[in-house]
Amino acid sequence: VNQSQQNPQSYTPQSLLPTMDQTGKRRWLYPDRRDGRYASRRRLTALGLIAFYLVMPWLTFGGIPLLRVDVFEGQAYFFGQVLHVNESNLLALVLAGLALFLLLATLVKGRIWCSYGCPQTVFVDWVIRPIEELIEGNAHRRRKVDSGPLHPQDQFKKVLKHVLFLVVAAIVSNTFVAYFVGPERLRHWMLQPPSDHPVPFFVMTFIMLGFYADLAWFREQFCSYLCPYARFQSVMIDADTPTVTYNAKRGEKRGRSQSKEDQRGDCIDCGLCVRVCPTGIDIRNGLQPECVMCARCIDACHMIMTNLDRPTGLIKVMTQNEYLGQTVVPMWKRPRVIAYASAVAFLFGMFLLKTVGRHAVSINVIRSPGAPYTQMPNDRYGNVFIFQVNNNTGRDIALQINPQTEGVELLCGQCTTTIPAHNELRISAIVSFPRQSKLQSAQFSEGSSGIVFNAPILSP
């Protein structure tokens, strides 16, 4: 154990999990930071995404939220399109499309989601760690402070750091809640005493503490042990997927030459690529599930190679086929890429077709559970239905549902009414018909949209 602790580079993924020592305790990481091409790109992307995340719940388009899944109104808003709770099939299309898009992106670009888009990486790498570095100093200093007794000024710094982490967690979690309840309701909750709304207060506190625990303490453990996406990595990629790769052919035998006869590769075994790694792995041991493709090791090694005046790219993003010198298959000739891209196009195409091409009003007919039919006066029978009516436009619509089948009558309090913009109505109605009519179904029309729809009839 002592030998391993003194030399963290002796950890190998085969023998040990990278952030756990041989006694099973967590090995706290102090990832060093080096600037570089990838760091600049990732920083810029992260700042853009954070701004997007913070601003989006507040934005509206034509009077409706730009992006929200409102759990109170039972509506989802997607950039001008409104989905009602009875259109969850459309929401399923979007979610399935996004999931497949993630598969496609992984196949084509590797773990680009982890390195650029995942909130875990974005907030930990570009908000939490910079705060820590600003208050407690660089990796070397933090490691030194944590390994000895804490002086009062170090204790003060730790308290200050955690207060800022709590502020970050509060902002992140409240913004998260705003995506589901809207900023107006959130503001109301925040300005009123918790006793006025104990359940939302409990939920918001729970989410905030969850974010705090994750950002301040759990960090890379989430990627290494909890995130299911990392576990599926090996089945999502193939030999033409770019991954962060150490060029062992060029780098080995690693280390500094001791004599003329001692021929070494380009890797001087400085260990910087391991020290900067936020998940604590040594990429020289090959691709590992913990690698989030952040490319910190690439920037670090690039700096070392530049300082040594050697060609850069000892660690770089490349595919397995490139590394082995085999033919690189163009993207559009890879069957899996074509299959995933077609499925994504199909799902998003269906979504667009079903939302943009919707009538001004859409109607779902549901049989009311319970009695199959009701005996009514004048030798008539009745079926109870619920008409779920959605107004898919941004204006109020005068609704008028009329029976079109001869002999059928509609007993309904709201079949002539006004349905507000982007709203949904559930109308209970009795459809009555003469006993001897032997109807299979009744036809109705909705006046303002011209929709004609059927309701199945049950009779004795």
Q: Are the CB atoms for 135 and 161 separated by under 8 Å?
A: yes
Among 172, 236, 293, 344, interactor with ligand SF4 by CB under 6 A: 293
Smallest separation (angstroms) from ligand SF4 to the CB of 262:
16
What is the three-class DSSP state of 342? helix
> Applying CB under 6 A, does 237 fall inside the site for ligand SF4?
no
Smallest separation (angstroms) from ligand SF4 to the CB of 219:
13
> Applying CB under 6 A, does 122 fall inside the site for ligand SF4?
no
Supply the angle between the helices 152-181 and 37-55 in degrees, to the nearest 10.
Answer: 50
Strand ranges (DSSP E) for 141-281? 243-246
> Applying CB under 6 A, does 295 fall inside the site for ligand SF4?
yes
> Applying CB under 6 A, does 273 fall inside the site for ligand SF4?
yes
Smallest separation (angstroms) from ligand SF4 to the CB of 185:
39
Which residue lies nearer to ligand SF4 by CB, 9 or 402? 9
Smallest separation (angstroms) from ligand SF4 to the CB of 451:
54
Which residue lies nearer to ligand SF4 by CB, 295 or 442? 295
Residue where the block lists tokens 């993630």: 102
Smallest separation (angstroms) from ligand SF4 to the CB of 232:
17
Distance CA 326, CA 306 (A): 28
Smallest separation (angstroms) from ligand SF4 to the CB of 152:
35
Among 297, 389, 408, 455, interactor with ligand SF4 by CB under 6 A: 297
Smallest separation (angstroms) from ligand SF4 to the CB of 94:
30
Number of residues forming the site for ligand SF4 (CB under 6 A): 29
Distance CA 416, CA 401 (A): 7
Distance CA 398, CA 420 (A): 9
Give the number of other CB atoms < 10 A from CB of residue 352: 12
Q: Are the CB atoms for 365 and 453 separated by under 8 Å?
A: yes
Smallest separation (angstroms) from ligand SF4 to the CB of 29:
10
Smallest separation (angstroms) from ligand SF4 to the CB of 332:
27
> Applying CB under 6 A, does 292 fall inside the site for ligand SF4?
yes
> Applying CB under 6 A, does 269 fall inside the site for ligand SF4?
yes
Report residue 357 CA to chain centroid gap: 27
Span of 137-145, 226-234, 268-276, 333-341 interacting with ligand SF4 by CB under 6 A: 268-276
The string of DSSP codes covering 209-239 is: HHHHHIIIIITHHIIIII-HHHHTHHHH--T
Smallest separation (angstroms) from ligand SF4 to the CB of 284:
6
> Applying CB under 6 A, does 347 fall inside the site for ligand SF4?
no
Q: Are the CB atoms for 186 and 203 separated by under 8 Å?
A: no
> Applying CB under 6 A, does 268 fall inside the site for ligand SF4?
yes
The string of DSSP codes covering 78-98 is: ETTEEEEGGGHHHHHHHHHHH
Distance CA 42, CA 301 (A): 17
Which residue lies nearer to ligand SF4 by CB, 84 or 219? 219
Phi, psi of 135 (to 5 degrees): -85, -45
Q: Are the CB atoms for 428 and 446 separated by under 8 Å?
A: no
Which residue lies nearer to ligand SF4 by CB, 6 or 307? 307
> Applying CB under 6 A, does 267 fall inside the site for ligand SF4?
yes
Which residue lies nearer to ligand SF4 by CB, 283 or 399? 283
Burial of residue 177 (CB within 10 Å: 0-12, 13-18, 19+) is buried
Question: Which structure tokens are listed for 71?
Answer: 């759990």
Which residue lies nearer to ligand SF4 by CB, 57 or 289? 289
Q: Considering only CA atoms, which of 242, 249, 244 is closest in space to residue 266?
A: 249
Distance CA 446, CA 444 (A): 7
Span of 92-100, 183-191, 275-283, 331-339 interacting with ligand SF4 by CB under 6 A: 275-283
Which residue lies nearer to ligand SF4 by CB, 18 or 65? 18
Distance CA 229, CA 117 (A): 13
> Applying CB under 6 A, does 291 fall inside the site for ligand SF4?
yes
List of residues 6+ apart from 367 with CB closer than 8 A: 383, 384, 385, 386, 456, 458
> Applying CB under 6 A, does 252 fall inside the site for ligand SF4?
no
Residues 413 to 432 in contact with ligand SF4, rule: CB under 6 A: none
> Applying CB under 6 A, does 241 fall inside the site for ligand SF4?
no
> Applying CB under 6 A, does 277 fall inside the site for ligand SF4?
yes
Smallest separation (angstroms) from ligand SF4 to the CB of 118:
12
Residues 299 to 338 in contact with ligand SF4, rule: CB under 6 A: 300-301, 304, 314-315
Distance CA 58, CA 76 (A): 15
Q: Which residues in this chain contact ligand SF4 in the complex, by CB under 6 A?
A: 244, 246, 251, 267-273, 276-279, 281, 283-284, 291-297, 300-301, 304, 314-315
